[in-house]
Amino acid sequence: MMKTNLAKAVSMAVAGMALSAGASNSWASTTMYNTYKAFATATPTDGGATANGSQANGTDGWVWGFKWSSNATPWAGPGTPAGDQPLPPSFVGINGSATPSSATPFGYLGSAPVNWAMELTGAADSGVISQADSFSRYGVYADIDTAKGAWSDNISPSTAATASGWRHNVDFGLFRSAVETDIHLHLVGLTQAGTNFGFTIFKGMDTNQTDAYNHHGPWNSGNNVAGVTVNTLVGGDTTFTVDDVVAYSVGGAAPSNLNDITFHAKADQVYTILLGGYRNGTWVNTADGYVLAASAVPIPSAVWLFGSAVAGMIGFGRRKVLTA
């Protein structure tokens, strides 16, 4: 009798999951873009094989952060900053507006750069970060690219297992979901077939308001082959710690989570997503535009029904045995 009841419970739960999957909805997302060095026309990347600085926009490592040089002071606004003060922030998409705003996504005030941000609001939400999305929503061709060696450089050192990334051209994104759910990220390049990208995802945001972010220096040494260590951290005077890492790619002989990665997002928690090319080129002047798709992966409510039903049947069976 116990086996019969358990089989019925499993059948009902599976049927419920099928109905739940068929009834899923897609909700709107909010994307936000830094307008620093935005293009006048659609341009997949400002990088190339030529010398650093020869491209129209150059590298985008100096996107607004808290401040960008050691003797800079925070921008206090309004007006134009002087001397070594960074430019005031200019983001489109704040509260869904196409008007550039000096407000930052999620009130960010750290030292590290922020290239873009995304917020999902529903349990079946999805969104895209790309230059095309930036233009279609806000009429701005945002500079959405990263160096082909930013997460792991293919020139120094020569082996993937011991190689480092270089934080000069790593893209920083901020992410938040209004509901607790798993988030799947899928990343593709625009200018080079077979381009691979690595991810490192941190809980929270950089909170450094003392030192300037140092763009020049290695990070991610060893490509996480030995797991997450202090070498995984982006450094540059950011405040992230090993305990903040929630998901990461692995390089070396058997790379994993390149281009695709999933992490668990708590409701209303902000996460910082770092991404860059995995051994596709150098860290400074071979850049690749990209499209990043993010989608919630909710656990169907029927799964909870399934668990409850199975637990109930098992408990019922055990009670029968105990009272027989």
Whole-number pLDDT of residue 58:
54
Angle between helices 2-22 and 301-323 (to 10 degrees): 170
pTM over the 0.85 mark: no
In three-state secondary structure terms, 187 is strand
According to the model, what pLDDT value does residue 45 have? 85
- Predicted pLDDT of residue 60: 59
Residue stretches of the chain with pLDDT short of 70? 1-28, 47-87, 156-161, 283-285, 298-324
Residue 180's Cα: distance from chain center in Å? Answer: 16
Residue 111 has what pLDDT? 81
Q: Read off the DSSP letter of residue 34.
A: E
**Tokens describing residue 28:** 């709107």
Q: What is the pLDDT of residue 187?
A: 96
Per DSSP, the residues of 63-116 read: ---S-SSTT------SS---TTPPPPP-EE-GGG-SS-BS--GGG---SS---E
Per-residue pLDDT, 132: 97
Structure tokens at 78: 């309004």
pLDDT number for residue 106? 95
| Burial class of 150 by CB neighbour count within 10 A (0 to 12, 13 to 18, 19+) | buried
pLDDT of residue 173: 97
pLDDT value at residue 284: 65
pLDDT of residue 309: 38
CB neighbour burial string for 166-186, b if at least 16 within 10 angstroms, e if fewer: bbbbbbbbbbbbbbebebebe
Written as one letter, the residue type at 165 is: G
Sign of CA dihedral 264, 270, 166, 231: negative
Within the chain, which residue ranges are assigned CATH 2.60.120.380?
29-297
Q: Class of the 29-297 domain?
A: mainly beta
What is the rounded CA–CA span in Å between residue 232 and residue 222?
Answer: 8
